Amino acid sequence: MITTVFGDAILPRGGRVSLGSMIQLLQPLGVNERLVRTAVYRLVKEEWLQSEALGRKTDYMLTPSGRSRFDEASRQIYAADIPGWDRRWRLILMVGEIDVRVREQLRRALFWHGFGETATGGFVHPSADLEKVMGSLASEGLEAVRAQLMPMVAVNARAAQCATDINMVQKAWNLSDLALSYEGFLQKYEPIRDALHAQGQEDVSEENAFLVRTLLIHDVRRLLLRDPQLPESLLPATWPGSRARLLCRDLYRKLLPLSERHLDANVRLSSGTVPNASRALVSRFEFGMDLDAGALNAA
């Protein structure tokens, strides 16, 4: 939850916040001060965050590697559309003798990038940016891999899809369990979206808008960690992930102005300064909407 709040709420405000503000933001979600302190300490140990003391108070900010990881996650969470497909599979192969522990580390890192594992022990994805993936692996100290593109011979159309493509998807990913999770997400958040459509936002407090926004992105982030982000042409026609993405975009848009006013009132640095929200915040999901200056407290 701290990771979610940092990525969604704190990163657009410079990626730095006082520990007291983080405790205050999470308290209504049932996360007490002891848990926040313990989790933040763990994130520092894992080099996601670093600290800076100011008297008796402490600010926490993203490390360079932590910011890089948050930026990569943000590109997935706030992407406007699923990427298209150039009809080439990205294949990553292990080369030489690799320690079992290192191989598992590689497998987990590639899974995070959406790769599925083939029967021959390779890793495959239809649209991943190999340069970025390999750079990410190198930054984690994982360089014992070789990557290549595999062009497919058959022309792929929705009506006459190549059996090889279908088999590749079925063998490399378990989409059934992910589809059920997306259906659960829809059942959870569609009533909230519908209520806001019907009743408007007049009865929604700024704090509740922030809490729902946080839970929304927290749940989306956990789904996307399991979602390989396959091109639409390789997904089932009724794929619930597409509906979930539209729902998240719609609900986030409705909650953003109120939730930002809550952050204006409650996010502080140890110096007492209110960190300004970047105007880049409104580009999330490519809303193309206008937020008033008061709502964003923008620089």
**Domain of residue 243, CATH code:** 1.20.58
Q: Which pair of tokens denotes residue 289?
A: 């909407």
In a domain, residue 215? The reply is yes
**Domain of residue 94, CATH code:** 3.30.70
In a domain, residue 49? The reply is no
- pLDDT tens, residue by residue, 239-292: 999 899 999 999 998 999 999 999 999 999 999 998 988 876 766 765 433 344
In a domain, residue 47? The reply is no
Rounded distance between C-alpha atoms, residue 45 and residue 39, angstroms: 10
| Coil vs helix vs strand at 59 | strand
User: Does residue 262 sit in the same domain as residue 203?
Assistant: yes
Give me the percent of the chain exceeding a pLDDT of 70.
85
User: Does residue 185 sit in the same domain as residue 111?
Assistant: no
- pLDDT tens, residue by residue, 185-222: 999 999 999 998 887 777 889 999 999 999 999 999 99
In a domain, residue 278? The reply is no
Residue with tokens 């191989």: 103
Rounded distance between C-alpha atoms, residue 221 and residue 227, angstroms: 10
In a domain, residue 281? The reply is no
Mention every residue, 6+ apart, whose C-beta is less than 8 A from residue 71.
none
pLDDT category of residue 136 using cuts at 50, 70 and 90: confident
User: Does residue 122 sit in the same domain as residue 186?
Assistant: no
- pLDDT tens, residue by residue, 73-128: 777 788 766 667 888 888 887 766 777 888 888 888 888 888 998 877 788 899 88
In a domain, residue 7? The reply is no
Mention every residue, 6+ apart, whose C-beta is less than 8 A from residue 52.
58, 59, 60, 61
Q: Which of 5-14, 160-169, 284-293 has the highest mean pLDDT?
A: 5-14
User: Does residue 107 sit in the same domain as residue 144?
Assistant: yes
User: What pLDDT does 83 receive?
Assistant: 67
User: How many separate domains does the chain show?
Assistant: 2
∠ CA 237-243-246, rounded to 5°: 135
User: What pLDDT does 143 receive?
Assistant: 63
In a domain, residue 55? The reply is no
Q: Which pair of tokens denotes residue 21?
A: 């503000």
Rounded distance between C-alpha atoms, residue 178 and residue 239, angstroms: 10
The domain of 118 spans 88-151
pTM of the model: 0.80
Mention every residue, 6+ apart, whose C-beta is less than 8 A from residue 198.
none
User: Does residue 260 sit in the same domain as residue 194?
Assistant: yes
User: Does residue 138 sit in the same domain as residue 179?
Assistant: no
CA dihedral for 26, 29, 34, 37, sign (positive or negative): negative
In a domain, residue 66? The reply is no
Taking the alpha carbons at both ends of the chain, their separation in whole angstroms is 27
User: Does residue 140 sit in the same domain as residue 187?
Assistant: no
